[in-house]
Amino acid sequence: MERWNPWWRGEPDPTYLAWASLPVKWVPDEVDMLPLEPFALNFVHGPRQVGKTTMLKLLINKLLNRVEPRAILYLSCDEFSDYEELGEVLDDYLRARLAWGISHTYIFLDEVTFVKEWWRAIKARIDDGSLRGSVVTVTGSASMELLRQREYFPGRRGRGRDITMMPLGFHSYMKKIHGLELMTVHHLDEIDKVMAGNRIYGESLSKHFNAYLETGGFPLAIREMKEVGRVSEGAKKTLLDGFRSDWLRIGKSESAMKEVIAYLIRARAAPISWLSISKNTSLSSPHTARSYVEVLENLMIVTTLNFLEPGGRVVYRKNKKIHFTDPFIYRTLAEYCQARVDEDALVEGVVASHLSRNYRIYYWRNSTEVDCLVDEDGEYYGFEVKWGVKEGRKPRWPRHVTLLTKDTIPLFLSSLPFA
């Protein structure tokens, strides 16, 4: 326990020191989003390598300016096997804090989904009052798994919040990496007006968007691109190794997952079915194919778009459009599968994943197609992505359709809120 909490000995945290020495760095917005008044049980989830641990260490450094160092406990949970082991460590700390005379504590459990039935250790100590006066924050990369487990805490969250930590979207990328403050929409019917206001920065947006298509919103890739002008194989390997570890932990075959990913990339953002995935891979059935894609969704590697009819009915049995959630994820997995990067599909995925952070998003097609269809308060907005030379007719539905081209896509993405 002591080695994870060097501030107890009056020593600086190595992770924070490493971050502070970086020439390219930024403070994630999530540092200021977490409630810090007891009692609170916070959930933070997001993809691998997105900076969750760094965010926790920055928050801890901030807390050290105003609380007793021993009031802060950080545990890296990938070394615990089950809830009993985790519970024993928590009990040791909670007994020690009473001896120290500390009433309010801040407990951070990093990558808690590694621990089998971890929630039992927390729930039991909430119920017996051991965590009264504490703020407990847990993080995990398996988003759906973590979100399902929060259902074990009905009425036990206090002031707690759910925070999704995603790779930097293009608006945040321009703000944090390039210092550019841009307008954002509050409602999609303002999009033309906001884009007109941001248009004066069009040259910078287009220039930096090309770099963003290489790095996505991942801290290590962004730093390398800024410092040396390219992303290293080591950065890709770090991301990929994390994904592979998760697949195996969840019980999926790596070779089968590789086949599924390769097929998704080859599909080039065209609608596909669970049956087509199983027929083009070694998977035994559509049901198995679906389970593999759901793991990718759970790990926030892909976003799935369902078909939406003009009447507003979601047709779940129709083919799905499956996009990768970040361009760095796409490029890393394409290299892993030895698949060709399709720029059109990559950019359409960037648009879809940005929109999905804030809106319910679908697609529609008959003789024409709407790549991304957003439902905002019952009003539908369509977005057609034409990165390369792609012909097509203007769809008859919905009423609001925006054509996004190579010139306007960076402008559009930089105008979206919270991305």
Domain CATH number, residue 104: 3.40.50.300
| Residues 245 and 364 placed together within one structural domain of the fold | yes
Kindly report which listed range (153-157, 216-220, 302-306, 386-390) carries the lowest average pLDDT score.
386-390
Read off the DSSP letter of residue 168: P
Count of domains for the chain: 2
Quote the CA–CA distance of 354 and 182 in Å, as a whole number.
Answer: 16
Report if residue 206 sits inside a domain.
Answer: yes
Read off the DSSP letter of residue 30: G
Please give the pLDDT value at position 28.
95
Biggest CA–CA distance in the chain, Å, is 73
Chain segment 208-230, per-residue pLDDT in tens: 999 999 999 999 999 999 999 99
Quote the CA–CA distance of 233 and 20 in Å, as a whole number.
Answer: 24
User: Does the structure show a pLDDT above 70 at 79?
Assistant: yes
In the predicted model, what is the mean pLDDT of residues 255-280? 97
Quote the CA–CA distance of 388 and 98 in Å, as a whole number.
Answer: 64
Q: How confident is the model at residue 110 (pLDDT cuts 50, 70, 90)?
A: very high
User: Does the structure show a pLDDT above 90 at 255?
Assistant: yes
Report if residue 107 sits inside a domain.
Answer: yes
| Residues 215 and 108 placed together within one structural domain of the fold | no
Report if residue 419 sits inside a domain.
Answer: no
Select the highest-mean-pLDDT range: 150-154, 243-247, 253-257. 253-257
| Residues 174 and 153 placed together within one structural domain of the fold | no
Q: How confident is the model at residue 78 (pLDDT cuts 50, 70, 90)?
A: confident
* Structural tokens at position 390: 């792609």
Instruction: Count the helix, strand and coil residues of the chain and give each as a percent rounded to the nearest 5.
Output: 50, 15, 35
Nearest one of 74, 108, 138, 111 to 242, comparing CA atoms:
111
User: Does the structure show a pLDDT above 90 at 90?
Assistant: yes
Report if residue 261 sits inside a domain.
Answer: yes
Q: Is 96 exposed, middle or buried (0-12, 13-18, 19+ CB in 10 A)?
A: middle
| Residues 275 and 369 placed together within one structural domain of the fold | yes
Report if residue 325 sits inside a domain.
Answer: yes
Among 164, 195, 215, the domain boundary falls at 164
Q: How confident is the model at residue 164 (pLDDT cuts 50, 70, 90)?
A: very high
What is the average pLDDT score of the chain?
A: 94
| Residues 210 and 319 placed together within one structural domain of the fold | yes
Chain segment 15-63, per-residue pLDDT in tens: 999 999 999 999 999 999 999 999 999 999 999 899 999 999 999 999 9
| Residues 185 and 144 placed together within one structural domain of the fold | no
Report if residue 203 sits inside a domain.
Answer: yes
In the predicted model, what is the mean pLDDT of residues 381-396? 80
Contact 170, 354 (CB under 8 A): yes
Please give the pLDDT value at position 144.
63
Q: How confident is the model at residue 395 (pLDDT cuts 50, 70, 90)?
A: confident
Quote the CA–CA distance of 121 and 124 in Å, as a whole number.
Answer: 6
Nearest one of 417, 414, 387 to 403, comparing CA atoms:
387
Length of the chain: 419
| Residues 344 and 376 placed together within one structural domain of the fold | yes
Please give the pLDDT value at position 393.
66
Domain range enclosing 147: 2-164
Quote the CA–CA distance of 70 and 10 in Å, as a whole number.
Answer: 10
Quote the CA–CA distance of 232 and 225 in Å, as a whole number.
Answer: 9
| Residues 90 and 229 placed together within one structural domain of the fold | no
Quote the CA–CA distance of 186 and 125 in Å, as a whole number.
Answer: 41
- Spell out the residues 6+ positions from residue 20 whose beta carbon is closer than 8 angstroms to its own: none
| Residues 205 and 146 placed together within one structural domain of the fold | no
Q: How confident is the model at residue 201 (pLDDT cuts 50, 70, 90)?
A: very high
User: Does the structure show a pLDDT above 80 at 145?
Assistant: no
Nearest one of 142, 164, 162 to 298, comparing CA atoms:
142
R_g (Cα) of the chain, nearest Å: 23
| Residues 192 and 66 placed together within one structural domain of the fold | no
Kindly report which listed range (17-21, 125-129, 242-246) carries the lowest average pLDDT score.
242-246
Percent share of the chain, pLDDT over 70: 98
Please give the pLDDT value at position 197.
96
Please give the pLDDT value at position 73.
98
Among 120, 142, 164, the domain boundary falls at 164
Report if residue 189 sits inside a domain.
Answer: yes
| Residues 353 and 221 placed together within one structural domain of the fold | yes
Long-range contacts of 158-161 (CB under 8 A, 24+ apart): 158/38, 158/39, 158/40, 158/41, 159/35, 159/37, 159/38, 159/39, 159/40, 160/35, 160/40, 160/41, 160/42, 160/43, 160/136, 161/33, 161/34, 161/35, 161/40, 161/42, 161/43
* Cβ neighbours around 240 below 10 Å, total: 18
Please give the pLDDT value at position 146.
76
Q: How confident is the model at residue 1 (pLDDT cuts 50, 70, 90)?
A: confident
Quote the CA–CA distance of 400 and 287 in Å, as a whole number.
Answer: 36
Chain segment 320-374, per-residue pLDDT in tens: 999 999 999 999 999 999 999 999 999 999 999 999 999 999 999 887 889 999 9
* Structural tokens at position 207: 């220039």
**Helix extents (H) in 183-285:** 191-198, 202-215, 219-228, 233-250, 254-266, 274-279
Among 116, 149, 164, the domain boundary falls at 164
| Residues 180 and 320 placed together within one structural domain of the fold | yes
**Sign of the torsion angle spanned by Cα atoms 50, 51, 53, 56:** negative
In the predicted model, what is the mean pLDDT of residues 399-404? 91
Q: How confident is the model at residue 149 (pLDDT cuts 50, 70, 90)?
A: confident
User: Does the structure show a pLDDT above 90 at 408?
Assistant: yes
* Structural tokens at position 370: 């709407």
Please give the pLDDT value at position 399.
86
Report if residue 50 sits inside a domain.
Answer: yes
User: Does the structure show a pLDDT above 70 at 419?
Assistant: no
Chain segment 182-200, per-residue pLDDT in tens: 999 999 999 999 999 999 9
* Structural tokens at position 270: 């065209």
End-to-end CA distance of the chain: 36
Please give the pLDDT value at position 148.
80
Q: How confident is the model at residue 141 (pLDDT cuts 50, 70, 90)?
A: confident
